[in-house]
Amino acid sequence: MKTSTAKSSFNHLRGLKLAALAIGTSFVLAGCAGNPPTEQYAVTQSAVNSAVSAGGTEYAAVEMKAAQDKLKQAELAMHEKNYEDARRLAEQAEWDARVAERKAQAAKAELAVKDSQKAVQELRQEGMRPAAIQQK
């Protein structure tokens, strides 16, 4: 008989723990949902500005458009006090902007390498000309 009472008591405590956990989780989620993601928004705005400065609109137009569109959607979600969506959209916009910035940097580096290779080729050709032609 003692085992059935112990099992009943255990199940009751387990149920209370689960209920407390559920209530605590809902409070945490409600607290997060109630705060505007102003810090994330500022970080995203900075990332978009850096990507634009790096040439993202020229070298990574698709990623820049995605970042700017998501940033606008995040702003709208903030105005509607839908902070969870605003945070998610701002994070996505930040990563799109970072990808655009890296692609722009890579494209610029590739152009610099091609220019250097062209200059080296021109110097080689210059060095192969006969000395008489160079003196004229």
Question: How confident is the model over 6-15, as pLDDT tens digits?
Answer: 555 545 555 5
Using CA atoms of 44, 48, 53, 56 in order, give the dihedral in degrees to the nearest 10.
140
Cα separation, 9 vs 50, in Å, equals 60
The reply to whether 70 and 116 lie within a common domain is yes
Predicted local confidence at residue 30, as pLDDT: 46
The reply to whether 42 and 29 lie within a common domain is no
Beta strand residue intervals within 54-129, DSSP E: none
Structural domain harbouring 54: 36-135
- pLDDT above 70 coverage of the chain, percent: 71
Residues found in the chain: 136
CA 25, 29, 34 angle in degrees (round to 5)?
Answer: 150
The reply to whether 84 and 23 lie within a common domain is no
pTM: predicted TM-score of the whole model, two decimal places: 0.65
Question: What mean pLDDT is predicted for residues 9-30?
Answer: 50
More confident residue, 106 or 9: 106
Query: Tokens in use for 6?
Result: 């112990």
Q: pLDDT confidence of 29, banded at 50, 70, 90?
A: very low
* Amino acid present at 90: A
The reply to whether 60 and 109 lie within a common domain is yes
